[in-house]
Amino acid sequence: MKRSALITGASRGLGAALARELGARGWSLTIHGRDRQRLEARREALEASGVEVAVTVGDLEQPGVAARLIDEHVEHFGGLDALVANAALATPAWMEKLQPDEVNTQLSVNLTSTFALVSAALPALQAGERIGRAVLIGSITGHYPIKMLSVYSASKAALRSLGDSVNLEYGARGVRATVVTPGYIDTDLSSGAPVAANTEMLSADDVASAVGLLLEFPEDLIIRELPLARASAPFIER
pLDDT for the residue 193: 47
- Predicted TM-score of the model (pTM): 0.92
Alpha carbon distance, N-terminus to C-terminus of the chain: 45
Residue 232 predicted with pLDDT over 50:
yes
pLDDT for the residue 198: 56
Residue 188 predicted with pLDDT over 70:
no
| Segment 22-26 mean pLDDT | 97
pLDDT for the residue 238: 46
Architecture of domain 4-237: 3-Layer(aba) Sandwich (3.40)
Domain boundaries of the chain, sorted by first residue: 4-237
